[in-house]
Amino acid sequence: MKLVKTYGRTAKTAADLIASIERRGAVSTAKVEPVVRRILADIRKSGDAALKKYATKFDALKKNQPLLVSREEMQAAWEATAPELQAAMMIARGNILAFAEAQLPQEWTITAAKGVKTGQIVRPLGSVGCYVPGGRYPLPSTLLMTVTPAQVAGVDRIVVCSPKPARETLAAAWLAGVTEFYRVGGAQAIAALSYGTATIEPVNKIVGPGNLFVTAAKQLVSTECGIDMPAGPTEIVVTSETGYAPGIAADLVAQAEHDPETLAILITSNETLATEVAAAVKVQAKDNKIAKQSLAAQGAIFVTKTVTEARELTNRLAPEHLTVDSHDDLKWVSNAGSVFVGDYAPQSMGDYISGPNHVLPTGRVGRVRGGLSVLDFVKIITVQEYSRKGLGRLGPHAISLATAEGLTGHAESVRVRMR
């Protein structure tokens, strides 16, 4: 394997660089974990006092400004939004809603044996916290991506937390019908959602992307509050042999402008394509300060000996966003958050308008799960029902298994109902 371009990254060999990328999840959050632990402990101990202290320091909360955003403020933001942006938000929400509805799991029952029915019922979570980043850029799309599937699932209480919420984000909240929105972010918001304060009641689960501090906080509170996944910083891998070089470069630059920690990689066995993409990235990132910074720290192009090697490396990295050449390539993809197929599917479409969720697994979590979906907001509860004859048919087998395990009480609980 050959490194054609690393945009400033240093590594003795390609293998060294790949190993460091594979360790990215644990290494990244470890850098901020001590600070995050102190914030979590402070919120847990002092509640609102600590929350307002951090919100004033980090989230530009003004003196005497309430943490809770009123519906009137959201409505005013919507009315001040340009009609073309209103239309875009409505289309995006419609597509997200339709996709989530298609994802809803179904209730069903089967007959395991005569007189024995088994199945599942589906129930929504009672409450969720949706984290919407609000630092470098306004992200109304993230509000729609997190709130909408929760609504489709039937969640009763949906709480949004966002630092320094932009007008666009407040407008999206109005469109989505959000009633509980707090202007607080970072690890302090995660702590409040998990532990609760006098102002913010705790939730059952926290979802949404964030920076390293948010990601570390979510991981640390996950022992007592559900979370979706580590979702940030952004990652992009393009695995291509025949792709359009300017389009590939544009996707790499687009995702790189999210955050200086963004991982941006091209994997190919086509050295000509690699060289063309490297040149195009240089031109397209010229005036994009954050993208240039990200590419310098986290960008790389790998040229593999074979197509098979390129595919194997892609699945090892388990990227958040993955672009491939054709629909046939989906056959070899096993680890990715969301896949974009062909030259006419820029990853930015998935960020905003397509319908599939843009809250996606990072840090190689794509090995074990996909992106946020309506499934994150429901519980699958299994159900078993026996008639007397059904118990008579399967009961003796359960008694045999219980006896083999030495669990006599288990065996008797079946036996007593069979008498």
SS (H, E, C) 45-96: HHCHHHHHHHHHHHCCCCCCCCCECCHHHHHHHHHCCCHHHHHHHHHHHHHH
167, 239, 291 from 315: Cα distances, Å: 39, 10, 25
Exposure b/e, 237-249, CB count within 10 A at least 16 = b: bbbbeebbbbbbb
Strands 378-386 and 116-124: antiparallel
Handedness of CA 82, 88, 91, 93 (dihedral sign): negative
pTM score above 0.85: yes
Distance CA 362, CA 277 (A): 24
Q: Does 33-107+125-227 match 2-29+233-367 at the fold level?
A: yes
How much is the pLDDT for 160?
98
Pick from 392, 393, 355, 361: nearest CA to 374: 355
Prior bond to 356 cis, omega within 30? Answer: no
Q: Determine contact, residues 1/274, Cβ cutoff 8 Å.
A: no
Q: Determine contact, residues 179/159, Cβ cutoff 8 Å.
A: no
From the list 180, 257, 320, 358, the catalytic residue is 320
Looking at the DSSP bridge assignments, the partners of residue 123 are 379
From the list 101, 321, 327, 385, the catalytic residue is 321
Question: Tell me, what amino acid is at 18?
Answer: I
* Residue pLDDT tens, the chain, 419 long: 456 665 555 556 788 888 888 887 766 788 899 999 999 999 999 999 999 999 999 999 998 899 999 999 999 999 999 999 999 999 999 999 999 999 999 999 999 999 999 999 999 999 999 999 987 778 999 999 999 999 999 999 999 999 999 999 999 999 999 999 999 999 999 999 999 999 999 999 999 998 889 989 999 999 999 999 987 678 999 999 999 999 999 999 999 998 888 899 999 999 999 999 999 999 999 999 899 988 988 899 999 999 999 999 999 999 999 999 999 999 999 999 999 999 999 999 999 999 999 999 988 999 999 999 999 999 999 999 999 999 999 999 999 999 999 999 999 999 999 98
Handedness of CA 319, 323, 324, 328 (dihedral sign): positive
Q: Determine contact, residues 192/40, Cβ cutoff 8 Å.
A: no
Q: Give the three-class secondary structure for 236.
A: strand
The residue length of the chain stands at 419
How much is the pLDDT for 181?
98
The domain 33-107+125-227 is classified under which CATH number: 3.40.630.30, 3.40.50.1820, 3.40.50.1980, 3.40.50.300? 3.40.50.1980
* Residue at token pair 């429901």: 378
For the chain, what are the domain ranges? 2-29+233-367, 33-107+125-227, 387-418
Distance CA 132, CA 151 (A): 16
Phi, psi of 384 (to 5 degrees): -135, 135
Q: Which two tokens stand for residue 153?
A: 């699932």
How much is the pLDDT for 23?
82
Phi, psi of 413 (to 5 degrees): -65, -25
How much is the pLDDT for 126?
98
180 is catalytic: no
How much is the pLDDT for 241?
97
Q: How many CB atoms lie within 10 A of CB 410?
A: 15
Q: Determine contact, residues 356/99, Cβ cutoff 8 Å.
A: yes
321 is catalytic: yes
Pick from 314, 376, 348: nearest CA to 152: 376
Question: Tell me, what amino acid is at 205?
Answer: K
Q: Determine contact, residues 232/215, Cβ cutoff 8 Å.
A: yes
| Overall fold of domain 2-29+233-367 | Rossmann fold (3.40.50)
